[in-house]
């Protein structure tokens, strides 16, 4: 239909190698394989402005897909998007899971630790894998944190002729012939000693590795209340020590950002480890003393001065 016509009439068609192969008989213009990272293709795409360019993507390009990157560089008025069901939609349909009630994350270009806040008892979670190695890494991570009894559904090549779905517990997951295009459906089962990250301010002090330089639990809860994080805001945690205030700021909403300034290299490294362990590996650590370390940093919406 319309998608076929747009591909055939394009001066250039950008896509992954498998996408270009699928559409090979339709392509009349130049076929361009995505570079890595994909953003390196943008200058070439922009030089073709005013001429038809097609971009091939799996599923819904605006669900953890190429659409987001395109929209950063090309005005919406110049984009025609023809979405197909996303991998999440296909997976939810297979298991009759309600998408609004299911956690949805991508591990493409993101650390496994991103899963931590989503690992809540009896939760359901869909996770896009980066490659064939991701499922085994995820299962090892689940086991290490006390979620080894969780059920893991391995879904490969959903919606195509090579579609395959297999299920195992995280602890018993032993598939060694996994396709590169896959996602995971996780039904979380937490052991009594599982490391569950609470979804409230004031995490227990013993969840943080520290040398005594830690804003204590009660003070931290009141501090977070006073800082009042709102979605998408950035915190400066000056003298961040173990990073506890910045970490809880990031846990308040996935769009939040934080920079921890710490002059002591051992403490800076410890804050980074705490952030990864508690599921917010995006905490930016700047090692250096205030105020000199502030130079060049993105301006904050809120500031906490500790130390």
- Encode pLDDT of 241-260 as tens digits: 999 999 999 999 999 999 99
Q: How confident is the model at residue 307 (pLDDT cuts 50, 70, 90)?
A: low
Which pLDDT value is given to residue 220?
96
290-296, long-range: CB < 8 A, 24+ apart = 290/238, 290/239, 290/261, 290/263, 293/261, 293/263, 294/236, 294/261
Which pLDDT value is given to residue 213?
86
Q: How confident is the model at residue 1 (pLDDT cuts 50, 70, 90)?
A: confident
Which pLDDT value is given to residue 36?
87
Task: Indicate the helix (H) or strand (E) that contains 47.
Answer: helix 42-47
What percentage of the chain reaches a pLDDT higher than 70?
Answer: 100
Which pLDDT value is given to residue 306?
87
Q: How confident is the model at residue 232 (pLDDT cuts 50, 70, 90)?
A: very high
Q: Is the pLDDT of residue 272 over 80?
A: yes
Which carries the bigger pLDDT value, residue 148 or residue 22? 148
Which pLDDT value is given to residue 37?
87
Q: Is the pLDDT of residue 23 over 70?
A: yes
Question: What are the angstrom distances between the C-alpha of 225 and each of 56, 92, 208, 221, 252?
Answer: 45, 36, 20, 6, 11
Q: How confident is the model at residue 121 (pLDDT cuts 50, 70, 90)?
A: very high
Mean pLDDT of the chain: 95
Q: What 3-state class would DSSP assign to 85?
A: coil
How does pLDDT run across 164-202, given as a tens digit for each residue? 999 999 999 999 999 999 999 999 999 999 999 998 999
Under a CB-based contact definition with an 8 Å cutoff, are residues 288 and 268 in contact?
Answer: no
Under a CB-based contact definition with an 8 Å cutoff, are residues 105 and 118 in contact?
Answer: yes
Q: Is the pLDDT of residue 263 over 90?
A: yes
What percentage of the chain reaches a pLDDT higher than 90?
Answer: 93
Question: What are the angstrom distances between the C-alpha of 50 and each of 8, 47, 139?
Answer: 17, 9, 47
How does pLDDT run across 39-69, given as a tens digit for each residue? 999 999 999 999 999 999 989 999 998 999 9
């Amino acid at each position: 239909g319309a998608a076929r016509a747009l591909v055939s009439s394009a001066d250039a068609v950008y896509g992954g190698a498998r996408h270009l192969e699928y559409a090979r008989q339709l392509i009349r213009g130049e076929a361009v394989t995505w570079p890595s990272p994909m953003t390196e293709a943008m200058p070439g795409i922009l030089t073709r402005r005013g001429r038809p360019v097609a971009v091939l993507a799996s599923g819904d390009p605006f669900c953890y897909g190429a659409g987001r990157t395109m929209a950063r560089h090309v005005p919406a008025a110049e984009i025609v998007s023809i979405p197909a069901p996303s991998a999440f939609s296909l997976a939810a349909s297979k298991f009759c899971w309600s998408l609004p009630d299911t956690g949805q994350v991508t591990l493409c270009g993101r650390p496994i630790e991103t899963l931590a806040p989503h690992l809540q008892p009896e939760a359901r979670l869909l996770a896009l894998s980066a490659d064939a190695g991701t499922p085994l890494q995820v299962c090892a991570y689940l086991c290490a944190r006390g979620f080894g009894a969780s059920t893991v559904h391995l879904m490969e090549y959903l919606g195509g002729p090579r579609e395959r779905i297999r299920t195992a517990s995280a602890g018993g997951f032993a598939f060694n012939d996994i396709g590169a295009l896959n996602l995971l459906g996780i039904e979380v089962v937490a052991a009594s000693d599982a490391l569950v990250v609470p979804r409230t301010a004031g995490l227990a002090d013993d969840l943080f590795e520290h040398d005594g330089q830690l804003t204590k639990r009660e003070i931290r809860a009141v501090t977070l209340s006073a800082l009042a994080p709102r979605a998408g805001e950035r915190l400066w945690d000056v003298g961040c020590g173990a990073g506890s205030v910045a970490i809880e700021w990031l846990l308040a909403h996935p769009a939040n950002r934080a920079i921890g300034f710490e002059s002591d290299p051992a403490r800076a490294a410890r804050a980074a480890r705490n952030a990864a362990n508690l599921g917010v590996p995006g905490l930016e650590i700047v090692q250096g003393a205030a105020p000199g370390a502030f130079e060049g940093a993105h301006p904050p919406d809120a500031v906490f001065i500790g130390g």
